[in-house]
Amino acid sequence: MKILFFAQAADAAGVREWHLPLESGDTGRLWNELLAAFPRLAPMKASIRLARNGEYAAADERFESGDEVALIPPVSGG
């Protein structure tokens, strides 16, 4: 599973892209794996949206090994 980190999530993780060797799992399992690997993401977990294959993921989304998952923190602009 390819994980993409954007903005503050990339800063907290220290990487922009990472490969997660997870065959499949739900949102909770994905977050458990991410926080184990990147504990600095924990304070921003509640505000990060997950996207699966280019579309925002539902709270009960199921992720598969071939998915591209993006962590998208809140964006502000003007």
Task: Spell out the domain ranges in the chain.
Answer: 2-72
pLDDT for 77 equals: 61
For residues 77 and 62, which has the higher predicted lDDT (pLDDT)? 62
Tokens at residue 23, please? 């065959």
**Smallest Cα–Cα separation from 38: which of 15, 54, 61?**
15
Residue 78 has pLDDT above 70, yes or no: no
Contacts of 37 (CB under 8 A, 6+ apart): 18, 20
Q: For residues 46 and 53, give the distance between their C-alpha atoms in angstroms, rounded to a whole number.
A: 21
Residue 76 has pLDDT above 70, yes or no: no
pLDDT for 74 equals: 87
Q: For residue range 1-47, what is the model confidence (pLDDT) as tens digits?
A: 999 999 999 999 999 999 999 899 999 999 999 999 999 999 999 99
Q: For residues 51 and 46, give the distance between their C-alpha atoms in angstroms, rounded to a whole number.
A: 14
Q: For residues 74 and 18, give the distance between their C-alpha atoms in angstroms, rounded to a whole number.
A: 20
Superfamily (CATH) of domain 2-72:
Beta-grasp domain (3.10.20.30)
Q: How confident is the model at residue 53 (pLDDT cuts 50, 70, 90)?
A: very high
